[in-house]
Chains A and B, each alone.
Chain A
Amino acid sequence: DAMVIQNPRYQVTQFGKPVTLSCSQTLNHNVMYWYQQKSSQAPKLLFHYYDKDFNNEADTPDNFQSRRPNTSFCFLDIRSPGLGDAAMYLCATSGGGDIQYFGAGTRLSVL
Chain B
Amino acid sequence: SQQGEEDPQALSIQEGENATMNCSYKTSINNLQWYRQNSGRGLVHLILIRSNEREKHSGRLRVTLDTSKKSSSLLITASRAADTASYFCATDAGGFKTIFGAGTRLFVKA
User: Which residues of A come within 8 Å of B, CB atoms?
Assistant: 4, 6, 31, 40-43, 45, 48, 50, 55, 88, 90, 92, 94, 96, 98-105, 107
> Which residues of the other chain, A, contact B105 by a CB distance below 8 angstroms?
40
Which residues of B in the span 92-110 have a Cβ within 8 Å of any Cβ on A? 92, 95-103, 105
Q: Does B59 contact A (CB under 8 A)?
A: no
Q: Does B2 contact A (CB under 8 A)?
A: yes
Cβ of B32 to closest chain A Cβ, rounded Å: 10
Cβ of A87 to closest chain B Cβ, rounded Å: 12
Contact across chains for B42 and A4 when beta carbons are under 8 A apart: yes
Contact across chains for B96 and A96 when beta carbons are under 8 A apart: yes
Q: A99-B48, A103-B42, A107-B40 are in contact. List 15 more A-B contacts (CB 8 A).
A: A4-B42, A40-B102, A40-B103, A42-B2, A42-B100, A43-B100, A45-B97, A48-B96, A48-B97, A88-B40, A94-B96, A96-B96, A98-B31, A98-B48, A98-B98
Contact across chains for B98 and A41 when beta carbons are under 8 A apart: no
Contact across chains for A102 and B43 when beta carbons are under 8 A apart: yes
Which residues of B in the span 1-41 have a Cβ within 8 Å of any Cβ on A? 2, 4, 30-31, 33, 40-41
Interface CB pairs A-B, < 8 A, 30: A4-B42, A6-B42, A31-B96, A40-B103, A40-B105, A41-B102, A42-B2, A42-B4, A42-B100, A42-B102, A43-B88, A48-B96, A48-B97, A50-B96, A92-B43, A96-B96, A98-B31, A98-B33, A98-B48, A98-B92, A98-B98, A99-B33, A99-B45, A99-B48, A100-B45, A100-B98, A103-B42, A104-B41, A105-B40, A105-B41
Chain A residue with the shortest CB-CB distance to B105: A40
Cβ of A31 to closest chain B Cβ, rounded Å: 5
Q: Mark B37-77, 1 if CB is under 8 A from A, else 0.
A: 00011111100100000000000000000000000000000
A42 CA to B37 CA, complexed, in Å? 11
Contact across chains for B42 and A55 when beta carbons are under 8 A apart: no
